[in-house]
Structure 1
């Protein structure tokens, strides 16, 4: 618990002075003010995160965490739990969508096992297994409170060892059943009804979807998680990989490193971090707007605007990888574009 407390304590507000200087430079670049829209906003936000009026991005890391969920026993997923382990091996072999897109943006992928139901022997895999999957929260708490803290701190430790001076990191996930856990977390923290935040995950049919909503509602009534207590929410309905991603988010913010959250599950991890320290949101870029209904609710709750809207719902960090290229473009505009005075171009007539 001390690592978690210390990490939260080290998170400071973003640098407003650096943001103002970045804004002034944007206004002096050879273009009409505001003409590059969100690209300008992105670079200014990153300036505040880094405390540098002309931010830079040299190194990027995507943290993709995996864990299984006992709630799968209730028949709420189109795929069996063993797919989690199979996909982790696919990540490690470089054959998944996240590997392709990470190569596209020249980002390193860190894959970690926080709670896969089976053992995976692979030298490239980081193993911080808190348990062999969570418990079935339709019947009992998903994990103990101690395990919730352990999983968050595992994420912090992985970040501290693996970010290696990166200026930008991204969140990714893998875990069959994790949209059910994310929906329950979202409902508990935002106060929205289960049917408002629950989607179809891996593509379940109407009957399974109705069952999923009912299970989440009954679980929340059974466990009564306290929405303002992120640890309690994880304890009751969380996932080990979700908790680990919360830890990565907290650790990144404490080191003034920007975070790109992917879709519903990874942004749920960011929501846990935000609940522990609201200043975290200023360090987060929302990569995209997922088709999962709960994702939109979380973005509204954290006051985040997505960079992209491409009807994505895969996870793994794929949307975050795509958004990295847009964020880099915004930074390059600020760093490399000529100013009116430098280029000898006349400014607009006031």
Structure 2
């Protein structure tokens, strides 16, 4: 259900049935999504993966319908969450798969606990699944059906568990890796990227859980195909992924090559996508209460202000510049005089940085 085919070319991908996406646009959506407690979801996935099988013991027999009803509710909630996330929000994801699987094997169960007569005709679809027989009492055909049921339940529960693990990997591992990539607040060259990646992998060597490492999940296969979505035929890489985790891994490294990477805005704290344009640590979302202003507008101003306030030489220069500019506006300096002073002030500032002028002497001269 959660597998799909994707085609990669330069800075975009096309997913069969879902359309075109920018490189790392889908990763951005997962980073931004407000998931419920993923660790709690993973624990429940593991519990159902362990317990959902045709009952073999007395207690399992008695409790099976109660277990399956809880599983219906749990996996329906997961389906609802998955349908909100790309690319599944554009794909026709099949809902109620567990219900369908159980009804495919309804000959193993009873829909109620009543003793019906010979003329009783069971409903087409069961809502309850009571087990009339113990595992060892099944005939050959029912035994084979029970084995097929177990295999289908194992595949289903594993698929959901891997999906939740992929989401955890995004929130914990991908986010941490991106933070290291953006620590220098600039695009990295190939060597710098490789060095950070090697160090990041070395930190994960002894982690037991695969979702705690920067690795793909599931299986994938690659071929090359010529496609012409925009006119001329070009070569696309076609991948068949069994999981979203496999896609996100390949897409991440496509983004590393092309400088299409999510990063967290230094002002609002939300993720945005850098698209190989001028590097900025701030997004372009509008700032509430600041009409016409974006995080990028205010963020760069704040960055400069922080730099000024932490640099006495620059702070002194900025104050002197404002004072002299005010004189020019009040016509106490001509334009030529202001330009002459501005050039002189830059020379003084550089001499202060080069320690050719002491700070007090620099301060006195630049304010004159």
- Shorter-chain TM-score above 0.5: no
Specify which structure has the bigger relative contact order, considering alpha-carbon pairs within 8 angstroms and separated by 6 or more residues. 1
TM-score (normalizing by structure 1): 0.26
Specify the structure having the higher radius of gyration (Cα).
2
